[in-house]
Amino acid sequence: MSSYNRALVEHILPAVWDVQAAYGIKQENTPDADMPKVKANPKLANTLYAHIADIKQAWRRTELTVIERQSILLRYGLDYAYDEIAVVRGVRKQSAQEATERAVGKVAAWLNGEKYIDGYDAMDLEVDQ
């Protein structure tokens, strides 16, 4: 089972609305195309499409407010900047950013089977192993 953090969710969210976006997303642990090929480890296989499927499901099933859904759609579906989202929603830029960040946090929490706690994003904490 993968552990989803905010950065991974934000990286893949555009693929929820644009199927072509997957072609522009580079898997983090994938070598460049011009690098020599070696025998692949199945445990480190490409998980990009599994992540996309998971995040599409999370978009449908995560409990988000209408404002959070609007914000996340405008930011990652339509590539609006926070100031543009603020204009559309008639709020301050900071409010638009907060709603978007809260929505991403809720999606990441849902993906990890955790309860989202507003103001505390445990998914961003990294533990050295």
CA distances from 93 to 36, 71, 88 (A): 46, 11, 10
Residue 68 lies inside a defined structural domain of this protein: yes
How many domains does the chain divide into?
A: 1
> Domain span at residue 14?
6-25+44-121
Q: How many residues does the chain have?
A: 129
Q: What is the pLDDT along the chain (129 residues), one digit of tens a residue?
A: 458 899 999 988 998 988 776 665 555 555 555 556 555 555 555 687 888 899 999 999 999 999 999 999 999 999 999 999 999 999 999 999 999 999 999 999 999 999 998 765 544 444 333
Q: For residue 58, with 0-12 CB atoms within 10 Å meaning exposed, 13-18 middle and 19 or more buried, which class applies? A: buried
pLDDT at 97: 96
CATH code of 74's domain = 1.10.10
pLDDT at 125: 44
Residue 31 lies inside a defined structural domain of this protein: no
Residue 60 lies inside a defined structural domain of this protein: yes
pTM here is 0.75
Residue 20 lies inside a defined structural domain of this protein: yes
Residue 128 lies inside a defined structural domain of this protein: no
- Judge whether 64 and 72 are in contact, CB under 8 Å: yes
52: its two tokens: 């996309």
